[in-house]
Structure 1
Amino acid sequence: MPSDHTVKSFDEELSVLDNSIARMGGLAEAQFAGAITALARRDSELATSVIAADAKVDGLQGEIDQRALKALALRQPMANDLRTIVGSLRIAGELERIADYAANLAKRSIALNQAPVMPSVTTVARMGELVRAMIKDVIDAYLERSVEKAREVWRRDADVDEIYNSLFRELLTYMMEDPRNISPCTHLLFIAKNIERMGDHATNIAELVEFSVTGMRVREERPKQDRTAFAVVEPPATRGGRTGSA
């Protein structure tokens, strides 16, 4: 049987992993919040700093990978401990993708600053705030090993999809109304899709939390509401109810 010293040492290693996930989650959340602020305020300098911050998240992922793989090799954990270590590896990967999307968002916001202000930016920022809260809450759920909190985040992904569906139609309408809107609206569409994907990654983490705690995968169908692949947008009507040019 392992000695008390060995058990304590292993517990400390798991605690370090938790702390690293918390730091990585905090950095990814801050990077995303900065990107949304840069978009709303048309702040290219802030956007540039967000892009540069991505390297810190990548570095933390490398540290987590090394610690987790070392623990797997030396400790040969079982049951809960094994799920915790494998979960930390996978959650780090999800957070790294969130940070990548935040950097992409910041790059798009710099390009948008060269165009007139689009009214849809406010809705995109509101969508971003919903996802930012999901990221924060799902990391809290992981650290607290709370399946209930993880499930609550999991259910909120449907709200993000509903906003994305609405934005998709709105932006396509703007593009059809005036060709000059095509470039800024295209950037906003990519930004909105990046945010929607961040919500998906937060939902993935919620599922990983539940598996780490219970050993069971979520059996319910994920509440996805993204219908943009099937969207049909009618051209804007002209005077007299006719569409198109005469």
Structure 2
Amino acid sequence: MREMKSVRKTFDQELQALKQTLLRMTDLAGRALDDSMIALREQNQLLAQVVIDGDGEINRMDEEINNRVIQLIAHQQPVATDLRRIITALKISTDVERIGDLAVNIAKCTIRIGTEPLIKPIVDIPKMAAIVQEMLRHAFEAYDLENPKLALELAEVDDRVDRMYGEQIRELMQLMTVTPRRINQITQLAFICRDLERVGDHTTNMAESILYLTKGEHYHLN
């Protein structure tokens, strides 16, 4: 009996370590997204490069989580709720890693725009970014607290992001017909809008994983 308790304690500690690594990874991805938006608004090439260079740490943590998951499954042979916790961490880490990649994409777009005068004030895109950043924070909290109610709320917010994305693309396409010489910048701004919309999608994927963890059922929120 004492040996079984010791094994369980070790397993719980490993699960908690896995969770903490994922939470740190999510925090890093959120910071990268924040910095990519600051770099865009300020046309700060140096900060954009910092975002690009920092992606390696997010990738390293994703690999660490993958290795932890393999070890837990191989050594502990978890079942039921424990197995769902491990699978959920693995699925969420994949989405978080992609969010880090999307922050890098935004930073690269900012570098491609360079110091060219902006075709319009950067106002609406940061509004869209603020919403997906808040979605990521809520997903972070929902996972930490294993709160299905918070996770479900993310799907409704994602619908709003999708509508904003459509509005931004229509406006940018109109600008392209009026100022075709600025097509490079307009294209880069359109890519940034697309990347933000995808951040919303990945955050919604995270919500689906949290619902699977807490309810034991698969949900399709996208």
Over 3 Å counting, the alpha-carbon distance change for 1:134 and 1:166 in structure 2 is same
Bigger radius of gyration? 1
One-letter amino acid matched to 1:3: M
Q: How does 1:110-189 map to 2 (within 5 A)?
A: 110-119=111-120, 121-189=122-190
Identity level (%): 33
User: Where does residue 28 of structure 1 map in the other structure?
Assistant: 29
Q: How does 1:1-246 map to 2 (within 5 A)?
A: 3-119=4-120, 121-218=122-219, 222=222
Aligned counterparts of 2:9 and 2:129: Cα–Cα separation in 1: 41
Give 3-state SS (helix, strand or coil) of 1:121's partner: coil
Aligned counterparts of 2:45 and 2:29: Cα–Cα separation in 1: 19
Contact between 1:101 and 1:198, CA under 8 Å: does it hold in 2? Answer: yes
Contact between 2:176 and 2:183, CA under 8 Å: does it hold in 1? Answer: yes
Contact between 1:154 and 1:207, CA under 8 Å: does it hold in 2? Answer: no
Question: Per-residue CA shift, 1:67-106, capped at 9, x if unaligned?
Answer: 1110001111111100110111111111100000100100
Aligned counterparts of 2:154 and 2:121: Cα–Cα separation in 1: 25
Give 3-state SS (helix, strand or coil) of 1:117's partner: coil
Give 3-state SS (helix, strand or coil) of 2:218's partner: coil
Aligned counterparts of 1:167 and 1:120: Cα–Cα separation in 2: 13
Aligned counterparts of 2:139 and 2:156: Cα–Cα separation in 1: 12
Following superposition, the deviation at residue 115 of structure 1 comes to: 2.2
User: Where does residue 242 of structure 1 map in the other structure?
Assistant: none
One-letter amino acid matched to 1:144: L
Aligned counterparts of 1:81 and 1:119: Cα–Cα separation in 2: 51
Following superposition, the deviation at residue 112 of structure 1 comes to: 1.3
Following superposition, the deviation at residue 120 of structure 1 comes to: 5.5
One-letter amino acid matched to 2:89: S
Aligned counterparts of 1:14 and 1:149: Cα–Cα separation in 2: 22
User: Structure 1 runs of 4+ off > 3 angstroms?
Assistant: none
Aligned counterparts of 1:13 and 1:185: Cα–Cα separation in 2: 47
One-letter amino acid matched to 2:179: D
Give 3-state SS (helix, strand or coil) of 1:218's partner: coil
Give 3-state SS (helix, strand or coil) of 2:123's partner: helix
Aligned counterparts of 2:219 and 2:67: Cα–Cα separation in 1: 28
One-letter amino acid matched to 1:41: E
Following superposition, the deviation at residue 122 of structure 1 comes to: 1.4
Q: How many residues align?
A: 221
